[in-house]
Structure 1
Amino acid sequence: MLQHFRGNLDYWDPLLLDTLATHREVVTVDLAGVGSSTGRTPDNVSDMARNALAFVDALGLKEIDIVGFSLGGHIAQEIALIRPRLPRRLVLAGTAPQGASDLHRWSDDVYRWAAGDVTTPEDFISLFFSGSAEGTRLAWEYLSRTHARTEDRDPESSLDCRDAQYQALMTWGIPESSKLERLSAITQPTLVANGDNDTMMYTKNSVLLAEHIRGAQLRIYADAGHGFLDQYPVEFGQHVVQFLGR
């Protein structure tokens, strides 16, 4: 499982992990320079993917299913292209294809919520959740779950990590429609998922992603934003389990 921009191990919703773990082994990871991991965070997605592959190789895994969320979804796509026989199935959540439109320069609101030196709970909720009364209620429930454990928490990612990941995201997002052709090389069964109002990666880019990966399934969650999997962790987890079990 590959995490989003600035996210660490403690950002995964325990309800999502528990739903997945009832059916299979689940491996979460802080890549180099993220959270508790030492090293330097790469400033491009290709090197992040090679970093992830080094981790997979160190575990001796020969075949894996990948859930990639946001930036993690960029990395998952790159892994499938660099090492095409390693992933069995892909789940690409709240992410976008390289070169798609409206990725290169976030809106002022998204940049303020995502890239500040300190991310407040209110910033996180504005960025990841729908903004409706129900979405906001579910957002606070997510935060209560992810902060229930107060000891031995994974450290927040550093500002150097933020800057490197931001550069990787902006480079990936330079508009270039020819980059979409790369997706034709992904032949693994793929589930693309997002909320119906993702203001960071834009839901339309999830649709574009599904259109360019042969046979991809697309699932859009109502009244949800970029963090739909935090808003509906059990439902999304069940959909992932069903997809991976086919």
Structure 2
Amino acid sequence: MSQYTATTLTITSNNQTSYAYRRFGKTGTIPVVFLQHFRGNIDNWDPALVDDIAAEREVILFDNSGVGRSTGTTPQTITEMARGALGFIDALGLTTVDLLGFSLGGFIAQEVVLLRPHLVRRLILAGTGPEGGRDMHGWKDDIRSHAIKDVQGAEDIYYLFFAQTQNSQAKGQEFVGRIFTRTEDRDETPSLATRDAQDEAIIRWGIPNMGKLARLAGITQPTLVANGNNDIMVPTVNSYLLAGHIPNAELIIYPDANHGFLFQYPHEFAGEVNRFLNKA
């Protein structure tokens, strides 16, 4: 099985939400549940990253409530998105998971751990930041013009996720090629209503409040924090804040990289993820 070929399945939770998901990789391991970025769906996960992790761990990719092929309505708060993720995990009958949250998914992952600390064994926070962090209260106009465009194209991915250097942009083109290689059983593009709800939730999360950093002491799980050295969507300083306030955290910063560092360095980051998750 691979991100290129895994079948898209559905499961219905107690709240009658039907969640779309893919589950594959090394069976008999603690599954890694992936939490996706703003406007992303299952097919926006890089096969190069996911398949490398799946070689050593079972991976679960899913659409949260109202996203892609999942039913229901997309919530307007991170806490309710976390409850949606918990509804999905509960529907699968999982009692122990590892979480990998990217961007918006990293906000949700933090809330999942704080709401259900006994569920999560290890946590990976990629290209994300704490509630009330620095320069997170809405995007600058140039970033926003790409992020909320009704119909996005490859040029928006290159701008938002990759540094404005020849090497990074070339890696961006490779990434776009990978995520559009799959042609059968593709996920549905998230709706504009989902975009608007997620946008509101992100803005609320980013209201400046350094007092909110105290909440991070509640995340006692081993945590891997990673980012590019010049993230324009969730400024890199916020990764330092996470690593500094989560009691058992380690930090990796990738050079010449923007928000999508994990897609620019998919094999390298997957190797770090596997190393981190395979620790005793």
CA apart distance, 1:149:
1.4
**Pairing of 1:49-88 with structure 2 (within 5 A):** 49-88=82-121
Deviation at 1:36, TM superposition (A): 1.0
* Partner deviation per Cα, 1:18-57 (whole Å, 9 max, x = no partner): 1010111100010011111111000100000000001111
CA displacement 1:128-160 (0-9 Å, x = unmatched): 001110111110000001001122211110000
- Percent identity, aligned pairs only? 55
- Aligned mates of 2:185, 2:88 — CA distance in 1: 22
* Equivalent position to 1:21, from 54, 63, 78: 54
Q: Hey, what does 2:143 align to over in structure 1?
A: 110
> What's 2:132 paired with?
99
Q: Which residue number in structure 2 is paired with residue 123 of structure 1?
A: 156
Is 1:133 matched up with 2:166? yes
For structure 1, the residue ranges without an aligned partner over 5 or more in a row are none
Q: Which runs of 5+ in 2 are unaligned?
A: 1-33
The residue number in structure 2 matching 1:45 is: 78
Q: In structure 1, what residue type is equivalent to 2:50?
A: L
Q: 2:251 aligns with which of 218, 221, 224?
A: 218
Cα distance in 2 between the residues matched to 1:80 and 1:192 = 15
Helix, strand or coil at the partner of 2:125: strand
Q: What code does the residue aligned with 1:55 have? A: F
SS in 2 for 1:153: coil
C-alpha distance in 2, partners of 1:195/1:177? 23
Q: SS state of the match for residue 60, structure 2?
A: coil
Deviation at 1:124, TM superposition (A): 1.2
Compare relative contact order (CA 8 Å, sep 6+) and give the higher one, 1 or 2: 1
CA–CA separation in structure 2 for the residues paired with 1:116 and 1:145: 22
Q: Which has the higher strand share?
A: 2
Judge which range, 109-118 or 62-71, deviates more.
109-118
Aligned to 1:90: 123
Structure 1 outlier segments of 4+, above 4 Å: none
Structure 1 residue 188: Cα displacement: 0.1
Amino acid at match of 1:65: D
In structure 2, give the amino acid aligned to 1:148: T
1:189 aligns with 2:207: no
Greater per-residue helix proportion: 1
3-state SS of 2:61 partner: coil
Note the C-alpha offset of 1:120: 1.5
Q: What CA distance in whole angstroms lies between the structure 2 residues aligned with 1:244 and 1:63?
A: 13
- CA-CA distance at 1:106 after TM superposition: 0.8
Q: Which amino acid in structure 2 is aligned with residue 118 of structure 1? A: V
3-state SS in 1 of match to 2:224: strand
TM-superposed deviation, 1:161: 0.2
Deviation by residue 1:62-113 (Cα, 9 ceiling, x = unmatched) = 1100000000000000011000111000000000000012101211111011
5 Å-filtered alignment, 1:167-246, equals: 167-246=200-279
Match of 2:178 in 1: 145
Q: Indicate if the aligned counterparts of 2:134 and 2:235 stay in contact, CA closer than 8 A.
A: no
| Amino acid of the structure 1 residue aligned with 2:122 | R
Could you tell me the TM-score, scaled by structure 2's length?
0.87
Of 147-156 and 231-240, deviating more is 147-156
Letter in 2 for 1:146: I
CA distance in 1, matches of 2:68, 2:145: 21
**How many pairs were matched up?**
246
